[in-house]
């Protein structure tokens, strides 16, 4: 008699666990359909719900990895390239943006290196300078030049690269001034 009584409870627990697994998988699909996510970010979002637990979430994540729906390396590369295409920026700013994605440091560093191999930082700063020149014009005063430097530094470019590009810009301005006389 005891066995009969315990058996339905185990069956009921299995049904509840299976239902929870299905709901977790469906939620994971919805979250990934909305936007790409890192494994850690998806795990945190799935664990928000009271009807699931870490074991079920781990099973779902492993299944999604098997389907190739989750891949942190690919996700990091896509985010890095996307950020560079959206707005010209330097390595520091891109590292800060990628830090919010909850990825391993090595994965982020590799993705950033790949992105800057394909789209060099010098090209990025040239785009940022060209855009700034279109909007504000060439810096005429020392204060304008300092603001230009500060703008490029906020975009995450290194000081040496900024100095090199700004010296090229001031040399062009100086050459134009000489040719006008």
What mean pLDDT value characterizes the chain?
A: 87
Cβ–Cβ < 8 Å for 83, 72: no
Q: Which helix (H) or strand (E) holds 2?
A: helix 2-34
Percent of the chain predicted with pLDDT > 70? 88
pLDDT number for residue 100: 85
Phi then psi for 42, rounded to 5 degrees? -65, -40
DSSP 1: -
SS3 of the chain: helix, strand, coil, percent, to 5? 80, 0, 20
- What is the pTM for the complete model shown? 0.76
What is the number of other CB atoms lying within 10 angstroms of the CB of residue 63? 14
pLDDT number for residue 7: 57
pLDDT number for residue 177: 46
- What average pLDDT does this structure show over 4-21? 73
Contacts of 162 (CB under 8 A, 6+ apart): 125, 149, 152, 153
């Amino acid at each position: 008699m005891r066995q009969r009584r315990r058996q339905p409870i185990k069956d009921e627990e299995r049904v509840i666990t299976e239902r929870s697994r299905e709901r977790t998988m469906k939620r994971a699909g919805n979250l990934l359909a909305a936007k790409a996510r890192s494994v850690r970010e998806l795990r945190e979002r799935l664990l928000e719900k009271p009807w699931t637990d870490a074991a079920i979430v781990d099973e779902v994540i492993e299944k999604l990895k098997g389907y190739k729906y989750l891949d942190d390396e690919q996700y990091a590369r896509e985010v890095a390239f996307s950020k560079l295409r959206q707005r010209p920026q330097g390595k520091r700013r891109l590292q800060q943006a990628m830090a919010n994605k909850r990825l391993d440091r090595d994965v982020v560093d590799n993705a950033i290196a790949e992105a800057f191999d394909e789209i060099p930082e010098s090209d990025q700063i040239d785009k940022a300078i060209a855009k700034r020149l279109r909007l504000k014009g060439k810096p005429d005063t020392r204060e304008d030049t300092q603001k230009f430097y500060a703008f490029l530094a906020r975009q995450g470019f290194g000081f040496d690269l900024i100095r090199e590009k700004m010296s090229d810009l001031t040399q062009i301005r100086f050459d134009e001034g000489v040719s006008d006389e």
